[in-house]
Amino acid sequence: MLECHPRELVADQGPRLDRSGALHWLEQRHRRRQLFIASLALTLGTVGAALLYLRTITRRVLVMQCGHDTGAEFWLRSADVLALAGSLILVLAFGGAASNADWVQQIRLVLGLALAGIFVTVVLVASNVWRAIPDMAATASAAKEGL
């Protein structure tokens, strides 16, 4: 006859960790969290610095191109969102920190991804501005001839 004791009915809770194993697991989890937060902060700081650097000259070009400040402000904000979101998406998708990752390697990876996001944004904005410049020159020369 088969006997069943209540102690045997307890569900298996998986492998049990001793105290040092649990401490090691917590340390790794804390380290991953630190790397993640540092990666996000580094990305936001890098992108923010680039956007601040480009803001004044980009505003002048866009005001000249749009004819008024409202259109320029819209395009500046759009470029800001594009740069921030693009860089953060790259870092979140490809910049995952392993528990044994070296801080220097993680910083290199995050900087590379953040700079790639900035680069793509600058290329998109600059190419659109560049395409519109010949139109502005043609309009200006036509206006001079009409005087």
Q: What is the pLDDT of residues 34-92, one digit of tens each?
A: 888 888 999 999 999 999 999 999 888 888 887 888 888 888 899 999 999 999 999 98
Q: What three-state secondary structure class fits 102? A: coil
Question: How far from chain centre, in Å, is Cα 133?
Answer: 30
Contacts of 118 (CB under 8 A, 6+ apart): 46, 47, 50, 83, 87
Higher pLDDT, 133 or 40: 40
Location of structure tokens 């002048």: 60
pTM here is: 0.69
Tell me the two tokens of residue 128: 């659109």
- Alpha-carbon torsion, ordered 100, 103, 106, 110, to 10 deg: 150
- Side-chain half-sphere of 123: how many Cα atoms within 13 Å? 7
